Amino acid sequence: MAGHEPLAYRLFIDGKREGGSQVMPVIDKYTGETFATVPVADGDAVDRAIAAAKTAFPIYSRLPAHKRHEILQKATLLFEARKEELADLIAREAGKPWKYAIGELTRSIETFRFSAEEAKRIHGETVPLDASVAGEGRIGFWMRVPVGVVAAITPFNFPLNLVAHKIGPALAAGCTIVLKPASTTPLIAIRMAEIFEEAGLPPGVLNVVVGPGAVVGDRMVSDPRVSKVSFTGSPPVGEAIIRKAGLKKVTMELGNNSGTIIEPDADLDAAVPRCVVAAFANSGQVCISLQRLYVHKDVVAEFTRRFVEATQALKIGNPLDHDTDIGPMIEDREAVRAEAWIEEAVAQGATLLCGGKREGRVVHPTVLSTVHASMKVMCEEAFAPLVSIVTYDTFEEAVRMVDDSPYGLQAGIYTNDIKKALYAVDRIDAGGIMINDSSIFRVDHMPYGGNKLSGLGREGVPFAVEEMTTIKMVMIKP
């Protein structure tokens, strides 16, 4: 494809493709080639996108549930038919190895399918008003109603599925949307909007604008016509958005420095390969990526030997090659940061067991040991292909170390001792605890979200639908 004119993508506003006075390049993260361009939305474009969503709301929110179901269901079939082409697009714009890009497509289709199913299930309850003397003789019920215009702001690392986790539930609930994808990965979101148009979604219901978060995102979250902000990204940006949003519903899906414990009774044949994937899939750029591995002293030598061997067998290369395991990181500065963190840890006494090398945006999968809790690689979110192995004596100590984090998204415990598993469930303050798996386990209908700096609210289709709706109480005095 080298040497071809970059493809000119367009913003998607009120069902129309729009250009702009300014365009930005979208590069293939592995080759560095500009393979597409996309317009930067100015203030007027953002304003028109919000206005379109606001105008579409009273009509779309009254579309019967079976019709909302039908549009979502049809979209899943269209995604299915274009799965490979869309996986190529993700592999190029996100630098995500194809095997993970196709996995993201499979999951996104499932997220939209769950959303289609959920569209038919949204309901309320009756309320026994006569439990109060004042309610005698009255009938009460509450309904779940769509919240209004949703501003959805998404990160680069799952440029389709994390968008799907907002768009699917919002469409199921009857909300209209303005979406701002990450500036590094805007194309798949625009393709998604076109697919929904083909599936019969009326104009104005889903609008996609592109541009710097601090400008475009900022306008979206502070606009009074927006009723709900659904954000996935880093904690500092999440906090800034909450301050700007004022009295709006917010969902915040933020970062983590996930830990997993390996007890002596763990099945190492299962744990080692799974932990390697958990640490290095998408170059560690996964919010529940395994960053801190706590391994019991009785098995640490064997576990580490096998883990390092499996890490060294990972294939580094072009994400478009179907057997590549490790591709580039999203931006040069991120790869440089990861390299600097590794060097700093080694200077502070960490042992480099493998990796530690950077070639452009590609950081080789890195395993460290003899780390301490105050090193950046341990106490901050790495979001890079690096993992640290810590040896522990007692299970209680390991649980305490996993929990000793400003984040609380997910954690993993490999043990067959149910008492120990439940002890960890009780003591670790996180949104999810995975037993006999690492922190990275997720399917798209389970509740998903974090405590502490990891966020506010939950996604996972049925839970996101709740977040996209509000409750309306009705009382009837016959």
Q: At its nearest, how many Å lie between ligand NAP and the CB of residue 112?
A: 17
Residues in 404-433 at the binding interface with ligand NAP, rule: CB under 6 A: 409
Out of 95, 146, 148, 155, point to the residue binding ligand NAP (CB under 6 A). 155
CB of residue 213 to ligand NAP, shortest distance in Å: 2
Bridge partners (DSSP) listed for residue 456 = 252
Q: Of 93, 253, 339, 466, which one is the catalytic site residue?
A: 253
Q: Please, are residues 352 and 383 in contact by the beta-carbon 8 Å criterion?
A: no
Please list, residue by residue across 29-47, b when 16 or more beta carbons sit within 10 angstroms of its beta carbon and e when fewer do: bbbebebbbbbbbbeebbb
Dihedral (CA of 99, 101, 105, 108) sign: positive
Is residue 79 close enough to count as binding ligand NAP by CB under 6 A? no
Residue from 60, 79, 156, 280 touching ligand NAP (CB under 6 A): that is: 156
Contact between 93 and ligand NAP by CB under 6 A: the answer reads: no
Minimum CB distance to ligand NAP smaller for 363 or for 409: 409
Angstrom distances, CA of residue 80 to CA of 83, 85, 104, 161: 5, 10, 12, 14
- Per DSSP (E only), the strands in 202-262 are 206-208, 226-232, 249-253, 259-262
98 sits near ligand NAP (criterion: CB under 6 A): no
Among 32, 212, 246, 273, binds ligand NAP (CB under 6 A): 212
Q: Does 259 bind ligand NAP (CB under 6 A)?
A: no
Please indicate whether residue 175 is annotated as part of the active site: no
Token representation of residue 181:
């994808």
| Residue with the CB atom nearest ligand NAP in the bound state | 213
Q: Interaction with ligand NAP in 325-344: which residues (CB under 6 A)?
A: none
**b/e map 293-328, b = 16+ CB within 10 Å:** bbbbeebbeebbebbbebbeebebbbbbeeebbbbb
The residue among 174 and 408 lying less far from ligand NAP, judged by its C-beta, is: 408
For residue 113, count CB atoms less than 10 angstroms from its CB and return exposed for 0-12, middle for 13-18, buried for 19 or more: buried
Pick 166 or 296: Cβ nearer ligand NAP: 166
In degrees, rounded to 5, the angle at the alpha carbon of residue 111 between the alpha carbons of residues 178 and 92 is 75
Kindly tell me which residue out of 50, 147, 160, 162 binds ligand NAP, with binding defined by CB under 6 A: 162
Q: Report 269-308 residues binding ligand NAP (CB under 6 A).
A: 287
Query: Which member of 275, 287, 334, 466 is catalytic?
Result: 287
At 335, which helix (H) or strand (E)? helix 332-347
Residues lying near ligand NAP in the complex (CB under 6 A) are found at 153-157, 162, 180, 182-183, 212-214, 217-218, 221, 232-234, 237, 240-241, 253-256, 287, 381, 383, 409, 450, 455
Instruction: Show which residues are catalytic.
Output: 253, 287
